[in-house]
């Protein structure tokens, strides 16, 4: 029996990476999943997952999509806000248009989706004490800074605090809101940056600071999203959960090697 049987889940950024992994995992767990993204993945024709073309920076389009889903499926139980873009530079080198692009997708897009979701959830009857649950994708860079990450850091830090604010505002209405903060995850967006020849050494240094010594996989983040969206997390709201292989646990200047703890 699936953990999400009978639930309706909406996932943004559904065409690739973490969003696609969430779509697949939630579908396997019995949810009716609607994926939203700028493009519809070709694989959608071979599955029973519904996909729609929606730009999260377009507030009216997001609101219309959510209203249509709620009308067709009678309610929306789960929302995963996974749409996002990378980029950034030191502030004095960052074009205003690049700042706007990153903030518009990562933070404002999250707001658009959250607003549309909450508007619908507030009018839904309680089911097992809940009207709905939202999982926002932030980043370890929303918990601590990263060199040259000005706009991206700001956007993901904003997602973390938006999540906590929503948890405060809507908890008594039966809506849980949490965030996931992934570290280095093997996704197309990550690879597009970290596989650049000039950045391989930097990638490897960052990877060394992930205490498990490897990249994370999108499926591992999807498993954490499933937990937060499920009744197993029924008393959890307002958290920013790192899924980072121990990256934010602290720094190890190779002292573990002195104790034979380097694997």
Catalytic machinery residues? 152
Identify the bridge partners of residue 178 per DSSP, sorted by sequence position: 135
Output the DSSP codes for 138-168: --GGGTS--TT-HHHHHHHHHHHHHHHHHHH
Residue 254 in contact with residue 248, Cβ under 8 Å? Answer: no
DSSP H or E run through 70: helix 59-73
Handedness of CA 16, 22, 25, 27 (dihedral sign): negative
What residues contact residue 178 under an 8 Å CB cut-off, 6+ apart? 133, 134, 135, 136, 163, 167, 228, 233, 236, 237, 238, 239, 240, 241
The whole-angstrom separation of Cα 172 and Cα 174 is 5
Identify the bridge partners of residue 117 per DSSP, sorted by sequence position: none
Handedness of CA 34, 39, 41, 44 (dihedral sign): positive
What residues contact residue 263 under an 8 Å CB cut-off, 6+ apart? 213
Strand 78-81 to strand 50-53: parallel, antiparallel, or no bridges (unpaired)? unpaired
């Amino acid at each position: 029996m699936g953990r999400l049987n009978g639930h309706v889940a909406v996932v943004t950024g559904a065409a690739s990476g973490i969003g696609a992994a969430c779509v697949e995992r939630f579908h396997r767990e019995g949810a009716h999943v609607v994926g939203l993204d700028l493009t519809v993945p070709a694989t959608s024709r071979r599955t029973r997952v519904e996909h729609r073309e929606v730009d999260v920076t377009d507030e009216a389009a997001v609101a219309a999509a959510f209203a249509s889903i709620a009308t067709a499926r009678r309610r929306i139980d789960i929302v995963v806000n996974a749409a996002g873009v990378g980029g950034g530079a030191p502030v004095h080198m960052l074009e205003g248009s690049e700042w706007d692009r990153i903030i518009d997708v990562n933070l404002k897009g999250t707001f658009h989706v959250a607003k549309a979701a909450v508007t619908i959830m507030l009018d839904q009857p309680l089911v097992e004490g809940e009207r709905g649950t939202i999982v926002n994708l932030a980043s370890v860079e929303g918990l601590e800074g990263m060199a040259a990450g000005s706009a991206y850091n700001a956007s993901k830090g904003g997602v973390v605090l938006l999540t906590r604010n929503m948890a405060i505002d809507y908890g008594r209405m039966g809506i849980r809101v949490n965030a996931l903060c992934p570290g280095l995850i093997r996704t197309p967006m990550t690879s597009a940056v970290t596989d650049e020849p000039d950045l391989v050494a930097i990638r490897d240094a960052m990877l060394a600071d992930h205490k498990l010594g490897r990249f994370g996989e999108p499926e591992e983040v999807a498993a954490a999203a499933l937990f937060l969206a499920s009744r197993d997390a029924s008393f959890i709201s307002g958290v920013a959960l790192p899924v980072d292989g121990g990256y934010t646990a602290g720094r190890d200047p190779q002292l573990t090697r002195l104790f034979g703890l380097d694997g």
